Chain A
Amino acid sequence: MNLNIKKYFALTRASIITSLSFRLSTLIMIFGNLLYLLVVYFLWKAIYASAGTDTVNGMTFNDTLIYLVLATALFTFMEMYIVWEIGRNIQSGQIVLDLIKPMDYRQYVFWSYAGELITHFVFTFLPTFIVVSIVTHGAIPMSWNLLWFILSVFLAVSINNSIDYFVGGICLYTESIWGINIMKQVLVTLLSGATIPIAFFPEPFKTVVMYLPFQSIYNTPLLILLGKSGDTMETLSMIGVQAFWVVVMALISRGFWRLSIRQITVNGG
């Protein structure tokens, strides 16, 4: 067991070092994010200015802005581009070498990306969070919700990872990576509330979205963080829903991956 943890830790450490060595790209990424946040700020300011009221669907301008800013930060931190990696490995044939490594392929890829997860958390999410909480003068409550939020993020990362593997499994059949991946990205960002808060979705659509796993990725942790998840019972039930999706998505993606990995054909090598 001890050995197990050690080998995963080694992978994580290596990927932290790799991601830190691309300093310029990190800078550009941070700059790009800032720019995006500015656009989001002006856009929603204009939108709220034309609304005539301060609160739309229970969200004030501040609420919406914090929600979207943190959604973006959460997205940069959680999006691991695992499908691209699997896709590249399928096309180059590298996947065969990774599959015969003495550890589970999914574990191997996850832990070698976990380092990036950590650096992104420290360099994108944390600074954004601190700036937002200072700028908005305590619009983010600082109490138990932080603890629930962290738990919720862990569950969200797991759901996201399962979805990635499910999509990676599809890639094994189609050998088309770009199209599948872009579809996944679009579906997840729209239906998880990362582009427009789910509170704004019109009715039948909103109910449908709430029954899908995607809202557990961004909407749930953000509502918990903003203190909009109700009392402890309601928060717990939201986390319960997340836990449900963690299990279901893990089962589905694991089963599907097992099935489709037999499908693999590698040309040359």
Chain B
Amino acid sequence: MDNAVIRKRKGLGFYLRIYRKILAQDIKSKMSYRADFIISTVGMICTNIAGFVSFWILFRNFPSVGGWGYYEMLFLYGFSLVALTPVQCLFDNNWSLRQYVYNGDFIKYCFRPMNLFFYFQSEVFDIKGLGQFTFGIGTLVYSWAKLGLAVTPLAILKTIIFLITASLVMVALQNAAAASCFWIMNSFYLLDLTMKFRDYSKYPITIFSPVFKFVFTFVVPIAFIAYYPSLVILRPEEAGVLSFISPFVGALLFYLSYKFWMYGALKYSGTGS
């Protein structure tokens, strides 16, 4: 049967059903290494606590960072942690992409009658991201309460929309970095670099000089990961056009990174073994 015909029949329902099945298998296999799961989760939480402690030490010595107070910075930190969850949980297989590509195993993904990108990413669900999610939510709620922000349905809705935005930007950056392995050796360093970028996203963009403000907004758009989205909630009076268009920026970046990833994947011709 023609490939295109088959492809047409697959809707969202099909993919959700498949995802549930693959997820169950992955969780089962992870659960057989229970110690590893527990240690990884503890490790993840340690990382977050260390981030928290550095903020705490910093603000014991200094009143603010470029006009941003302790709780506002914590809000940014919590926000970026929560927004990080999807990229950590759902797209973690990107880290293994280069190994699959080098040793030729990637070809197995090319022969399944479904979306290549979907199948590849669905194979791994990283549970330890959930520990980080919990920690992030905790930080977010704590700073929310300390800042005395109002809790209205609208505020919560806004937060959710802008969290999704931030996640999309992060996923997009990671997809693009991972897909570079279709062209260059050792894409690990590029992935590592995007991870570093991700870390910088928790600082307010206003501390940078105009040139870098521009770079971090338009070239490597890390300002869309936490700064522009959280402005809407933290300092609505300062939120400009960039904050409000960020959901569209997120969606566009995700789409572009997906196209880039697929372009590389479809060019892939195996290693010949």
Q: Are B184 and A190 in contact (CB under 8 A)?
A: no
User: In the complex, are the beta carbons of B193 and A31 less than 8 A apart?
Assistant: yes
B193, A179: Cβ atoms under 8 Å? no
Chain A residues whose CB sits within 8 angstroms of the CB of B11 once the complex forms: none
Q: Are A200 and B63 in contact (CB under 8 A)?
A: no
6 pairs of residues in contact across A and B, judged by CB atoms under 8 Å = A22-B186, A28-B189, A50-B63, A176-B39, A182-B43, A186-B47
B209 within 8 A of A: yes
B189-242 interface with A by 8 A CB criterion: 189-190, 192-193, 196-197, 200, 203, 207-209, 212
Q: Is B36 an interface residue (CB 8 A)?
A: yes
Smallest Cβ-Cβ distance to B59: which chain A residue: A47
- Given the known A-B contacts A176-B33, A179-B36, are A49 and B66 also in contact in the complex, defined by CB atoms under 8 Å? yes
Query: Once the chains are docked, how many angstroms separate the CA of A56 from the CA of B212?
Result: 27
Q: Which of B43, B57, B212 contacts A201 (CB 8 A)?
A: B57
Measured CB to CB, the closest approach of chain A to B101, in angstroms, equals: 16
* Contacts known (A50-B62, A179-B42); A196 close to B203, Cβ less than 8 A: no
Q: Tell me whether B46 is interfacial, beta carbon within 8 Å.
A: yes
Out of B36, B39, B50, B203, which one reaches A186, CB within 8 Å?
Answer: B50
Contact A190 to B50, CB < 8 A, known contacts A175-B35, A179-B40: yes
Partner of B208, one of A42, A49, A176, A182: A42
**Interface flags, A217-229, vs B, CB<8A=1, else 0:** 0000000000000
Chain B residues with CB under 8 Å of A39's CB are 200, 203
Given A49-B66, A187-B46, A202-B60: A32 touches B36 (CB 8 Å cut-off)? no
- Does A180 have its Cβ within 8 Å of any Cβ on chain B? yes
Cβ of A174 under 8 Å from chain B: yes
Cβ of A154 under 8 Å from chain B: no
Query: Interface code A43-74, partner B: CB below 8 Å = 1, 0 otherwise?
Result: 10111111100001100000000000000000
Q: Which residues of A contact B62 (CB under 8 A)?
A: 47-48, 50-51, 56
| Given A43-B65, A50-B67, A176-B35: A196 touches B189 (CB 8 Å cut-off) | no
CB proximity to B under 8 Å, residues A67-99 = none
- With CB as the reference atom, state the residue of chain A lying closest to B188: A25
Residue tally, chain B, CB below 8 Å to A: 41
| A57 contacts B61, C-beta separation under 8 Å | yes
Q: Is residue B53 contacting chain A, with contact meaning CB distance below 8 A?
A: yes
B42's closest neighbor in chain A, by CB? A179
Known contacts A28-B190, A174-B35: A22-B185 contact under CB 8 Å: yes
Point out the residue from A22, A32, A50, A195 that lies within 8 Å of B193, measured CB to CB: A32
A59 to B, closest residue via Cβ: B61
A60 to B148, CA, bound (A): 35
A200 pairs with B58, CB closer than 8 A: yes
A50 touching B66, Cβ below 8 Å: yes
B189 and A180 contact, CB distance less than 8 A: no
Interface pair A196/B65, CB less than 8 Å apart = no
Given A176-B36, A195-B54: A182 and B47 interface contact (C-beta under 8 Å): yes
6 additional contacts, CB 8 Å, given A24-B184, A47-B65?
Answer: A32-B189, A32-B196, A36-B196, A45-B207, A179-B40, A180-B43
